[in-house]
Amino acid sequence: MSLDENKAIVRRLFEEVYNQNNLAVCDEIQEPDYAAFQHEWMRALRTAFPDLHATIHDLIAEGDRVVAWVTISGTHQGPLEGELISWLTDPLPPTGKRFEADGIFIYPIVNGKLVLNHHGVADWLTFLRQLGALPSPSTAS
């Protein structure tokens, strides 16, 4: 696939899956294990953040990989819980607080599909602080 075609796949992940909550797209653009993971991850996120939104700042393609710099935002209106969230925080009841955090992710593409073994760095510290799950530096003693 061309670099532009690979970038289009990653763009669909954020624009159609994250922003439009169209989980059927997962089955089109992701290998089956990743699609199953993505369905569960998005259900947990959409339960907690019904207004979840991803803004793509940049997509860079090289070979069979696409790097995405994105900002994810939303308002915490439902419980943040579940197996996929447990590594990050204890269950967190709705706070009504808004978050906005950046991430940079590297997506390998094999045979036109995103594969589960992607890598990335997300600003989980800012995310948890904005939701009130961790103290901010100014309030920490």
Q: Write the pLDDT tens digit of every residue in 33-74.
A: 999 999 999 999 999 999 999 999 999 999 999 999 999 999
What average pLDDT score do residues 75-97 get?
Answer: 89
Q: Would you kindly state where each structural domain of the chain is located, as residue ranges?
A: 3-131
> What distance in Å separates the CA atoms of residue 73 and residue 2, rounded to the nearest whole number?
30
Q: Which amino acid is at 4?
A: D
Q: How wide is the angle at C-alpha 14 spanned by C-alphas 13 and 17, nearest 5°? A: 60
The model's pLDDT over 2-28, given as tens digits with 9 standing for 90+, comes to 999 999 999 999 999 999 999 999 999
pTM for this prediction: 0.91
Integer angstrom CA distances of residue 114 from 5, 18, 74? 12, 15, 24
Q: In the CATH hierarchy, which fold is given to the domain comprising 3-131?
A: Nuclear Transport Factor 2; Chain: A, (3.10.450)
